[in-house]
Chain A
Amino acid sequence: MKHLNLTVKRYIIILLCCLLANICSYAQEQIVGRVLDINGNPLAGASVRVLSQDIGAITNAEGEFKLLFLQHQDTLVVSYVGYVTVHQPLSVDNEGIIDVVLERDPKALEEIVVSTGYYDVPRERATGSFAHVDNKLLNRSVSTNILERLNGVVSGLQFVDPHAKEASGLRVRGLSTIQADTRPLIVIDNFPYEGDIMTINPNDVESITVLKDAAAASIWGARAGNGVIVINTKQGAYNQTTQISLNGNVSVGGKPNLFYSQSYLPSPTVMEIQKELFERGAYAEQEQTYIPSYVELLIKQRDGLITNQEFTRHENHLRNSDLRQDAMDYLYQHSINQQYNLGVRGGGENYRYALSAGYDKNRAYIVGDNNVRLNLSLQNTFRVRPNFELTGAIWYTEQKKMQNGISYRDLLLPLSPTNIYDPLVDINGVPGVTGSRFRQAYREDSEEDGLLDWMYRPLEEQKMLDRTNGGKELRLNVRGRYEFLNGFYLDANYHYVNGDDWSRESHSPQSYFVRDLVNQYTQVDLSRPIPYGGILDIGMPVSSHTHSARAQLNLNRNIGAAHWITALIGGEVRQRTLDTTPALRIYNYDHELGTGTTDLDFRQSFPTRPLYSARIPNVASAAAAPATVTDRFLSYFGNASYIYNTRYTISASARWDGSNLIGVKANQRGTALWSLGASWDVSGESFYNLEQIPYLRLRMTYGSAGNIDKSQSHFPTIQVGTNNITGLPQSNLRHPGNPSLRWEQVNTFNMGVDWHMYSNRIRGSIEYYHKHAKHLLGDNLMDPTLGLGMNYKVNYASLLTRGWDFQLTSNNLTGPLEWTTNLLLSYTANRVTSYNAPNQLFSTYFTNHPVVNGKSVDLIYSLPWYGLNPANGYPLVVVDGELTSDFINYYNNLKVEDLLANAVRVPPYFGSLQNNFTFRGIELGFLITYKFGHHFRRNSISPGQEYVVNAPVYHMDYFNRWQRAGDEAITNVPAWADSYGAFQRDYLYKYSEILVTRGDHVRIQDATLSYTFERHNLRKLNLEQLRFFVYARNIGILWRANRNSIDPDYNNADYTMPRSMALGLQVTF
């Protein structure tokens, strides 16, 4: 069967090739020409027609066309969307290449060419759903990360993480999978990119196309299930005068406002609570237990170790301290991000090039956190023969991050518990001491006992931290392009990416990390199994190598004036290896000499202070060994579209993918995916006479794309290691093998209408889609007798995602004052259509997001709320139809069906409104984004959690709590409790419907103001263009549905993203 399939496949390929070849077999004489804009840039896809005859051509990517069998005297009609049509006389004397130069039509629309990574196509000729972000739109915003620039400007692209810097925080048209990878595929210069997106210099990017439906994305086959983001970098052009552009900008961001979060109680309140706990005897006064500093003070007072006067002085100091203010003063700063870029582009007769150098230097708003990035790139293309072009390109990126800051969050970690009243600068004006695991009173005496100083002082540590990580990335691309016959070309590509990441953390001997570790292991006789010296941690270096090669045969030509055919067929191989080397720790490290040791006694167990015994932590454990992961992919693909009379377009694509991740038998390894599409330009028909709508086009596509989960395996897999107890080699059965493992598949139907109104001043498009994802991996109910154990996923689940994308662009004003508005609005909702997960723990319905058949993946579950009991202020519940206070009984008898499931956490409605005004070189724009229809679970108090000794939970709702009968009419916050008590009481409020809060909001995301000096003003300076701009980001919320002053994008966060303001300059020579 396998051989039969392969044979059939090969015959089909041969047949297709022969068919394509035959189309051009009657070629005879020809004339060669080129269509350029006034800057000498080639215009791809321009239509060239011979006036007297029914023959014509479409220009290729280099703007070139070839026409056959010309009469002696004739006229060429060259037209291109957005340009004035040219009638150019021809005679037989015309020899060599005819250049036709088109001028921009000021009244016309710009032609948009979308790129799939395999081919470029003018949007008017594509059937699929593409979202295109051109260079101007990309440069509207200022950021170090390229993905951030897509926020709010791409129809259907949702930032689930509002500040996503990686593909994992994005969704293209909602979800297409349940438990596999949700990341859209990122393609850079025609090849999938799996490195760190932060290595990409946004200034190198020319345009981005987002492929949203099957017709657009299925050319990427098994990896396109989550949508594809295609990034194209800037290229040079033939016969283009050298263009040098310089730009630089500086953004300054505000300090985070730590007073945003309401999860705190003021210092005096916390001190009162701790005093009460102290009086109750809740603190175990033992060496190994942390005791809050105010309680230590109370203990000293009780034991007569300090005078009452001294006590009051300290107490008052604590009462007036606020950790948040101290953190803002000492730990945070204004962020300063600098970005500089030099770009040079141009080309000669047979040579074109682009090179760029970029430098980014960012100072984060946490003192001590910085990062720098250097980007270099060079692309050269040579026309070796008139029909043979060779390109070599190289990109190099180096990044380094210093993470030497201490954040507010760090101070609250259990290892360094800090109270809101703990001052960072103490009463004597020196760096203050905050908590650590062990009792402060115990650590205070350490030096007298012959130990090292055992105090943790954040402000001193801040200066000593030395944590860096970085990476280098090299991308190489070699491309040959051979044109032959009429409209054929063969494209061969080789692409290589090498990334190396490293990290290291050097702890100086003075650091708390070293002092704490050495002290813990100091023996009774004061000997030190861990020598007192620096400690250097070298993180696990990761190195990746990706090789890809692709060969592709393209056809792009027209037959007569009425038929236009574009087709491609090709194959691709790809291998990615990921090598990891174990991490290493060097003890007694001397920073100056670079000496240290890894040879300590890691096997013996030493008594530790204050209690227990332990071995010396050995970062490089015996089980760690260098590891290599290899992914391999093999693909064949084909794509064709046919346009008749510029009105009717049909398109088809097919792709076969194989991977070593799936299957042992070749015929199960691969998956074949395909798409079909059609479009009809209704306005081009002779019967069409709607003058108000001069352009109307209908599109419809259907097809499939795939997805894969790398954690699953077809065959049993083991991981080998060493048994911790016996030291014998041992294997762990990672997966018992899933003989039925296959690719996930997403079938997408897309239907769209594009129209222009009011002489093209309003352009709109609306698309409806329906994605049925099937064969999704999910935990399945299995017969336990099979012994499969945990994590056994089977391809059986399915998910339905539906939605629509609406887009409207309007030129409200033309003339000296131009005003353009762009409106985006999308809707998306998903529903699990098949899933039988094993029963889940009841409480995980609140904390996790369990997948439930028939429900959305994004649901928030909550408990019904019946108000507070007037008698005691605790939640009321309903048992047998009666209001009661028996919440334990009620909760324990709850079923999943009793939960409310009426809110989703990801906004189903989202979009943006972008306005731009231009007047004599001045441009003003602002972007408003909105999200509707979603909810979030708001934080509040947990009665009694304030009185928990370890990790208490505070919230300002404490002051809005029920205090006396009658309060239940004005508040939903339950009464105080002197201890946590039954968790059911807590859950009934914490996970109740009243804390599920509407997330709808509208925000002004950014605004930009720029001034461009006209060319005639710059003659003296010999400049082409000069542009100044001011850009403001995270401006603020315009409207929100909740009345709690919570920014729904920052629910439960310590602060919202601070505003930032950038100043920039762009010069072009």
Chain B
Amino acid sequence: MKRLIHRGYSLLAGLVLALSLAHSPASAQVEILEEPVAGRGVAFFRIMVRAGSMHDPKGKEGLANFTAMLLKRGAGKWDRKAIDERLDQRGASLDAYVQKEFTMIVGRCLTANLPEFYDLLRAVVLEPSFPTAQVQSGKQDQLEAINAVKNDNEDLGLEAFTHFVYAGTSWEHSAVGRVSSVNSFTRQDVVEFYNTRYTRDNVTVGIGGDYGTDGKLVEKIRADFGKLPQRSVPTAVPPRPELKGRRVLIVEKRGLDQGQINIGHPLSIHRKDATYAPLYVAAQYLGSHRTFTGQLMKSVRSDRGLTYGAYSYIEYFPYPYRTGAEILPMMNIARSQQDFRVWTFTLAKNIDFTLRLALLKFIELRRDGVDKRRFASVKTYSKNKFVFFRETPERRLAMRLDDKIYGTGDFGSGFEARLAKVTAADTNAVMRAVLDPDDLAIVVTVPDAAAFKAELLKPGASVEYQGNIDPAPLTTEDGQAKGLDLKLSEESIVIKGVDALFE
């Protein structure tokens, strides 16, 4: 079976090559975006390759990630040891990560080391050697990456949400793939994937910081990357899954005292749409990330102490601690198909109540609309906060690369003006148009799935407050949350173990 899939992929790759060669304009050059800051002393690269996990061949899930991982393990005249040595010697960094729709290669160095660093970067992107020994050891490393997701409760919750919402599509699997697919990788798979996806049409080179004003480096980049094969590779349209009714995925992870709650559904709009700005304000109003601005944070955390955080999003937002960015999203995580999502976490015994409470707050906001005065404040907050999304040259460059995914012109420079024009009526209208409390995916991680399923199916929920919280002022709303009809049936609830998400 694996061999057949492999052969099928090879044939497809050959077909794509033949078709695209026939349609390629001979004069096309690699696209280069620049964000210069003279005299800064530090230069950086962000190279986007349209080689995302959605492009993984069937049965080879995780191949884009594997290919990206191997880039640095042998390229040009250097082996892995020499590459690591040259980077470390210069205090430089070079890494790659994979999103649904692209691979992002990110590098940084002191300007003084730019010539040597660029030589290395060029080799890594354009002349990877994919040594056989590294393919073997790399498979073990990618299996460890799968384990790392399983062991990280926040990552696991978010991956499970995507897995559930996009089941049966090219977005279902995690970028790190599945255990069986990773075990099946061969060097030939990697070479074919690289040859198919790392083409001139598929690459956008972003360079920023202090890289010189004479244009020589940019010319060199243009010449070097121009040697990539000219070939337009069909880019599959991102899936827009249909979600009917409320469906629940319960992921069982034994030993947990605290469970993750993700509630949401695919969105029908994104950045380029006129209704994006009013919806952006709505998401801030309901659950601005890591602030007390949102309604969720007030109700779930401030009033009840049930959680440390309760937020809502209209764009993919992986838990950002490991990047050091606590409030802003990671750079270059764009997706042209986005989800509305509410995220919180609480003690295992309070998950049922907390998810009902979060759902109640969402339903109320959509039904009743925003408070006009509060809305004005949140809108101004959203507008003035936007400076941080463009605070550094690297963030500005990243935003321009995101424009490529979203098909937006220059989103960064125009968004504050768009926000300024948003009215409460706009926000209420778009919430009612695109947010749907009846068609929802609810994904929770719990220590005992069967018990939790039974809890969900029985009417009502209970809550156990910690500390000396006075429940009296909360009684009315608690009653509403406890009595909220989840509209679930036996058939609408699926239980999976952690391993099943990656098999």
Tell whether A pairs with B: no
